[in-house]
Amino acid sequence: MTRQRPFFVQFLVPAVLVAVIFAAAMFNVLKYSFLEFVPGSLNVGGFTLENFTRINRPIYYWVLLDTFILSFATAFFALLLSYPISFALVRAERNWVRSVLVVLAITPLFTGEIVRTYSWMLVLGSDGVVNTALKSLGVIDRSVPIMYTRVGVVIALVQFAMPVMIILLATAISQINRDCEKAAANLGATPNTVFWWVTIPLTLPGILSGFVVVFAWTMSAFSTPQLIGGGKVLMISNVVYLQGFSSFNLPFAAVLSLVALFAALGSLALMKLLTARLEQNMATS
Amino acid sequence: MMHQKMTAITALEHSVEIKAVSKTFGAFHAVNNVSLPIRAGEFVTLLGPSGCGKTTLLNMVAGFIDPSAGAIHIGGVDVTNVPVHLRDTGMVFQSYALFPHMNVFDNVAFGLRQRKFSKSEVTRKVMQTIEMMKLSGMEGRRISQLSGGQQQRVALARAIAIQPKVLLLDEPLSALDKSLRAQMQVELIEMHRNTGLTTIFVTHDQGEALSLSDRIVVMNRGQIQQVAEPIDLYSNPANGFVASFIGEINALPAAIYQASDREISLAIGDIRMTAPRRPEWKFGSGEMVKAFVRPEHVRMATSADAGSNVVTGEVLTHIYQGSHTITRLRIDGLGPIEMRLPGGDVVGRVPVGMPAQIAFDLSQVILLADNPN
Ligand SMILES: Nc1ncnc2c1ncn2[C@@H]1O[C@H](COP(=O)(O)OP(=O)(O)OP(=O)(O)O)[C@@H](O)[C@H]1O
Ligand SMILES: [Mg+2]
């Protein structure tokens, strides 16, 4: 192998470096999780298992569950909103329509997370765009709270996740053998039936991988729930932050991080299993 | 055979009529004023070189492409503005386009379910079609678990299960290897005999066209060149394009120097020969024409051949092909000529580089007007 690719080893150096540093950091997190917390000090004490027993409290289960639910909801709504956009992106007959959609879909990737989150605060606030508009339309007469609610957090997270979702879905949609859709129509299927019985199933691998990626990504969301949730909506990263940088309980923050990591890995593995079976079934020879 | 002639009675009403259909992409005429009536139960082949508009024409019959002009009738009804899913055609795609997320049974059942047949009716029709296409026992298989030939049969089964008014086959055999293709040709013929479905078959393989079709439609550059039965097409091509496209043929420039009711005398280069006149030849004395001679109508001259028909050429190559040998000769003033000799004839072969005397089978010479089309 290396003889055929003389640069192979050199090319691996950066990746190996990153991996080593990351592994070292993870090792430290692991180490901290077994060390005693000394209140009022950044230093830690000796070996203990107490950090792990401390997590066995309803509040942390609720945060974990909340994180799951918010991530799931984000992935779900991002999927729902992205699919039509991806579809139009791939299938639009006119080039300019495609170009406009690409720009609209992708540019959010290039604005920073904080900037985007602040924009959402302006939009969702009690005097924000949404409330003002709804009020002037007479739909509501008092501002409805969106800021500092789960709904608000999910809205911002969905928008944050959509570019990635759109790219993944568009890839899947562009890889469909369109003759399959033509064949279905030819056999008498209405456009509606073709979409639900052929197009959607054929893009299912893309749908699942988009869902999994956004889900895992949102599991580690921090600044969006921090700013839009304003302490009222807590995801696991926010609790890690509270423990680590408000209470300076680094050992417990480490334990929470590990829990979050394994929760994410576990759900990823589960979904991977699902997709693997699906892809195996869908593979054409 | 319970499925025999399962549509024979209804098929009589069905037929396809392509009426002066054109399709332009920008300024490009992909299909140019094509008219073609197809009888019920007929197996018609669209044959022509790549890009001549075969797929475009087929897609217009299926409804995937709207004609720029003209009309399409199926079963006596104008369907030009009827959407694909209401046209009741059965198409087999070159890529098969089987549904990878369904098993064989569900693939074949798809069209029947759209037609709201009862569950037992669907099962009955699917199993009947599966049996006819020799797929019994594979109902539960995934598409990915089938060989290319089996996928091909599923694609056919899916299209014929709905007993469409017309079966549309777009180069269905081109993805198969040679021996499988020969086998599928036989199965196509059987399928057609069993179902009696009106069939439009697209290919650019002339051998396939000649062996399968009731009639062949030769197309070039979006236009029909000739519509004829296979034998007629081979022995009586309407123009130079058809003559050269179907089978091998020597095209030789010729001048007519004498024309009577019964015979035509030609000069092909220095060679003079007299051929019996065919009724469709309207040429007069002094006209320039093209003389077409198939390789199997050229032979080694014997003492019985008249002197005027005997030509001397130099042997360039022998290409041995088992059942026969193709011999290329150069004749001064004419260029190369191919002749086809029976395979075992090695003893009588003239060595390469040596002169050989050949003769044309004059009753088989085809004369066509000397214009490009
Ligand atoms: N959507 C399109 N836009 C522009 N030109 C097209 C389009 N579809 C087909 N053509 C052109 O029309 C011509 C006929 O195409 P068509 O696919 O019907 O050829 P074909 O006879 O089926 O060829 P092949 O044997 O290669 O399949 C080709 O020159 C093709 O480039
Ligand atoms: Mg084609």
pLDDT per residue as tens digits for the range B168-190? 999 998 888 888 888 889 999 99
Which atom of ligand 1 lies at the shortest distance from residue B65's CA? 1
A204 to chain B: closest CA residue:
B101
- Given this model, what pLDDT does residue B62 score? 97
- Given this model, what pLDDT does residue A8 score? 78
Q: Is B50 in the pocket of ligand 1 (CB under 6 A)?
A: yes
Q: Which helix (H) or strand (E) holds B38?
A: strand B28-38
Residue ranges per domain, chain A? 72-233
- B346, pLDDT greater than 80: no
- Given this model, what pLDDT does residue A282 score? 64
Query: Which residue CA neighbors atom 17 of ligand 1 most closely?
Result: B55
Which atom of ligand 1 lies at the shortest distance from residue B54's CA? 21
Q: Mutation test of the interface with chain B: which of A186, A198, A278, choosing the one with the most B Cβ atoms within 10 A? A: A186
B93/A182 touch (CB, cutoff 8 Å), yes or no: yes
Q: Which chain B residues touch A182 with a CB distance below 8 Å?
A: 64, 84, 91, 93, 97
Q: How far is the CA of A86 from the centre of ligand 1 (A)?
A: 28
Cβ neighbours of residue B296 closer than 8 Å, sequence gap 6 or more: B340
- B333, pLDDT greater than 70: yes
End-to-end CA distance of chain B: 48
Q: Report A:210-249 residues touching B (Cβ under 8 A).
A: none
**Of B158, B188, B191, B198, which is closest to residue B13 (Cα–Cα)?**
B198
Q: Which helix (H) or strand (E) holds B35?
A: strand B28-38
Q: Is B204 in the pocket of ligand 1 (CB under 6 A)?
A: yes
Residue type, A145: P
Q: Is B107 in the pocket of ligand 1 (CB under 6 A)?
A: no
**Of B166, B206, B150, which is closest to residue B38 (Cα–Cα)?**
B166
Quote the CA–CA distance of A60 and A64 in Å, as a whole number: 6
B100/A284 touch (CB, cutoff 8 Å), yes or no: yes
Q: What is the pLDDT of residues A48-71, one digit of tens each?
A: 888 888 888 898 999 999 999 999
Cα-to-chain-centroid distance, residue B167? 16
- Compute the radius of gyration of chain B from its Cα atoms: 25
Q: Is B65 in the pocket of ligand 1 (CB under 6 A)?
A: no
- DSSP string for chain A: -TTT-TTHHHHHHHHHHHHHHHHHHHHHHHHHHTEEE-TT-SSEEEE-SHHHHHT-SHHHHHHHHHHHHHHHHHHHHHHHHHHHHHHHHHH-SSHHHHHHHHHHHHGGGGS-HHHHHHHHHHHHSTTSHHHHHHHHTTS-SSPPP-TTSHHHHHHHHHHHHHHHHHHHHHHHHHTS-HHHHHHHHHTT--HHHHIIIIIHHHTHHHHHHHHHHHHHHHHT--HHHHHHHTTSS--HHHHHHIIIIIS--HHHHHHHHHHHHHHHHHHHHHHHHHHHHHHHHH---
- The confidence band for B372, taking pLDDT boundaries of 50, 70 and 90, is low
B248-369 under CATH 2.40.50.140, yes or no: yes
Q: Is B49 in the pocket of ligand 1 (CB under 6 A)?
A: no
- The confidence band for A281, taking pLDDT boundaries of 50, 70 and 90, is low
- B24, pLDDT greater than 80: yes
Lowest mean pLDDT segment, chosen from A2-11, A113-122, B14-23, B304-313: A2-11
Quote the CA–CA distance of A200 and A72 in Å, as a whole number: 20
Which atom of ligand 1 lies at the shortest distance from residue B56's CA? 18
- A139, pLDDT greater than 90: no
Cβ neighbours of residue B329 closer than 8 Å, sequence gap 6 or more: B313, B314, B315, B316, B336, B337, B338, B339, B356, B358
- Given this model, what pLDDT does residue B4 score? 43
Cβ neighbours of residue B52 closer than 8 Å, sequence gap 6 or more: B219, B220, B221, B222
Cα-to-chain-centroid distance, residue A37? 32
Quote the CA–CA distance of B304 and B89 in Å, as a whole number: 58
Q: What is the pLDDT of residues A221-257, one digit of tens each?
A: 998 999 898 888 999 999 999 988 888 888 999 999 9
Quote the CA–CA distance of B140 and B162 in Å, as a whole number: 20
- The beta-carbon neighbor of B114 closest among A180, A193, A284 is A193
CA distance A158 to chain B (A): 30
DSSP B143: G
Length, in residues, of chain A: 285
Q: Mutation test of the interface with chain B: which of A176, A187, A195, choosing the one with the most B Cβ atoms within 10 A? A: A187
Q: What is the signed CA dihedral for A179, A183, A185, A188, rounded to 10 degrees?
A: 180
- DSSP string for B304-327: TS-GGGEEEEEEEEEEE-SSEEEE
**Of B195, B180, B112, B194, which is closest to residue B150 (Cα–Cα)?**
B180
Q: Which chain B residues touch A185 with a CB distance below 8 Å?
A: 83-85
End-to-end CA distance of chain A: 28
What the block records as the tokens of B47 is 């044959």
B91/A183 touch (CB, cutoff 8 Å), yes or no: yes
Lowest mean pLDDT segment, chosen from A166-170, A238-242, B118-122, B177-181: B177-181
Q: What is the pLDDT of residues B39-90, one digit of tens each?
A: 999 999 999 999 999 999 999 999 999 999 999 999 999 999 999 999 999 9
Lowest mean pLDDT segment, chosen from A127-141, A173-187, A268-282: A268-282
Query: Which residue CA neighbors atom 22 of ligand 1 most closely?
Result: B55
Other beta carbons within 10 Å of A115: 9
Average pLDDT, chain B: 89
* Alpha-carbon distances, residue A106 vs A2, A77, A131, B295 (angstroms): 38, 18, 27, 64
A186/B144 touch (CB, cutoff 8 Å), yes or no: no
Residue ranges per domain, chain B? 2-243, 248-369
Quote the CA–CA distance of B332 and B310 in Å, as a whole number: 13
Contact present, B210 and B234 (Cβ < 8 Å): yes
Which SS3 state, helix, strand or coil, does residue B249 take? coil
Of A12-21, A180-189, A207-216, A268-277, which one has max mean pLDDT? A180-189
Q: Is B15 in the pocket of ligand 1 (CB under 6 A)?
A: no
Q: At residue A261, what are phi and psi to the nearest 5 degrees?
A: -60, -50
Ligand lying closest to the C-alpha of residue B46: 1
Q: Is A175 on the interface with B (CB under 8 A)?
A: no
Average pLDDT, chain A: 89
Quote the CA–CA distance of A116 and A248 in Å, as a whole number: 29
Q: Is B110 on the interface with A (CB under 8 A)?
A: yes
Q: Which chain A residues touch B144 with a CB distance below 8 Å?
A: 281-285
Other beta carbons within 10 Å of B307: 7
Mean pLDDT in residue range A200-212:
91
- Given this model, what pLDDT does residue B45 score? 97
Which atom of ligand 1 lies at the shortest distance from residue B57's CA? 18
Q: Is B116 on the interface with A (CB under 8 A)?
A: no
Structurally, what CATH architecture does the domain formed by B2-243 represent?
3-Layer(aba) Sandwich (3.40)
Vertex B351: Cα angle to B349 and B356 (nearest 5): 70
What the block records as the tokens of A1 is 């192998």
A179/B100 touch (CB, cutoff 8 Å), yes or no: no
A185/B85 touch (CB, cutoff 8 Å), yes or no: yes
B93/A284 touch (CB, cutoff 8 Å), yes or no: no
Q: What is the pLDDT of residues B286-316, one digit of tens each?
A: 888 999 999 999 988 887 776 667 888 899 9
Q: Is B51 in the pocket of ligand 1 (CB under 6 A)?
A: yes
Contact present, B329 and B239 (Cβ < 8 Å): no
A279 to chain B: closest CA residue:
B101
Which SS3 state, helix, strand or coil, does residue B336 take? strand
Q: Which helix (H) or strand (E) holds B58?
A: helix B54-62
A186 to chain B: closest CA residue:
B85
A72-233 under CATH 1.10.3720.10, yes or no: yes
Q: Are strands B166-170 and B199-203 parallel, antiparallel or unpaired?
A: parallel
- Given this model, what pLDDT does residue B272 score? 81
Q: Is B56 in the pocket of ligand 1 (CB under 6 A)?
A: yes
Q: Is B125 in the pocket of ligand 1 (CB under 6 A)?
A: no
**pTM, to two decimals:** 0.84
Q: Is A266 on the interface with B (CB under 8 A)?
A: no
Mean pLDDT in residue range B341-345:
72
Which SS3 state, helix, strand or coil, does residue B55 take? helix
- The confidence band for A1, taking pLDDT boundaries of 50, 70 and 90, is very low
Lowest mean pLDDT segment, chosen from A265-279, B207-221, B256-270: A265-279
Q: What is the signed CA dihedral for B277, B279, B280, B282, rounded to 10 degrees?
A: 70
Quote the CA–CA distance of A72 and A217 in Å, as a whole number: 11
- B348, pLDDT greater than 60: yes
- Higher pLDDT residue, A281 or B234? B234
Sheet order of strands, B16-25 included: B28-38, B16-25, B69-74, B77-78
- A174, pLDDT greater than 90: yes
- The beta-carbon neighbor of A187 closest among B96, B114, B144 is B114
Buried b (16+ CB within 10 A) or exposed e, B199-238: bbbbbbbbebbbebbebbbbbbbbbbbbbbebeebbeebb
Q: How far is the CA of B32 from the centre of ligand 1 (A)?
A: 12
Quote the CA–CA distance of A155 and A150 in Å, as a whole number: 9
Quote the CA–CA distance of A243 and A256 in Å, as a whole number: 9
